[in-house]
Chain A
Amino acid sequence: MGKLSGKKLLLLGERDGVAGPSMEECLKDSGAEIVFSVTECFV
């Protein structure tokens, strides 16, 4: 743990893969700041 400490995270989720909010939940205690999180979808 700690490799992400101090980093700025950009989370590019995908509706059919891993969504942004799931990644946010996983990484909120990583020591990094989540700058933005999105969930793209392809239809």
Chain B
Amino acid sequence: MDLQNQQRIKDAAEKYGAENVVVILGSSDAEGAEIYAETVANGDPTFAGPLAGAPLGLAVYHVFEQEIRDEIDPAVWEEQLGMMEMVLDGDALAEATKGIREEFSKWTI
């Protein structure tokens, strides 16, 4: 993950309280989603950025997970995400993110 974005995530968790922050991913592949989810929940696995050794435990979801979909107006969903849902493997992205969340996140929605 971009080092600048790692810093912004760390700052937001400190400012608002990690329990109040929810990270939502738009990753295109399951492996990338896992790395992003792990970074915000358990720290930077590459030990390169500000989140190295910083297991924030943030709640993290992929936008294609049902919990997030339930919070979005169906018409808006279709307009904004309908096309990408056909192109991407939403189930794999959801499963990958959920797996990391269940392992490392301290909070959920």
Residue numbers of A with Cβ under 8 A of B are: 1-4, 6-14, 16-20, 22-23, 25-27, 29-30, 32, 35-36, 38-40, 42
Tell whether, in the assembled complex, residue A11 and residue B12 are in contact, meaning their CB atoms are under 8 Å apart: no
Option from A3, A8, A17 in Cβ contact (under 8 Å) with B71: A3
> Are B76 and A26 in contact (CB-based, < 8 A)?
yes
Distance of B101 from chain A, by nearest CB (Å): 14
Instruction: Say whether B48 faces chain A, with CB atoms less than 8 Å apart.
Output: no
Q: Are A27 and B28 in contact (CB under 8 A)?
A: no
Total residues of chain B contacting the partner, CB 8 A: 36
Q: Which 8 A-B pairs have the closest CB atoms?
A: A18-B26, A17-B28, A13-B26, A16-B28, A22-B80, A8-B16, A3-B109, A26-B72
Confirm or deny: B54 has a beta carbon within 8 angstroms of a beta carbon on chain A: no
Closest A residue to B33 by beta carbon equals: A17
B9 touches A10 (CB 8 A): yes
Q: Are A40 and B24 in contact (CB under 8 A)?
A: no
- CA of A17 to CA of B84, assembled, Å: 7
Beyond A1-B71, A26-B77, whether A12 also contacts B20 by CB under 8 A is no
> Do residues B109 and A4 form an inter-chain contact, with CB atoms below 8 A?
yes
Distance in angstroms between the alpha carbons of A43 and B17 in the assembled complex = 34
Q: Report whether A6 and B5 are in contact in the complex, using a CB–CB cutoff of 8 Å.
A: no
In the assembled complex, the Cα of A11 lies from the Cα of B72 at a distance in Å of: 14
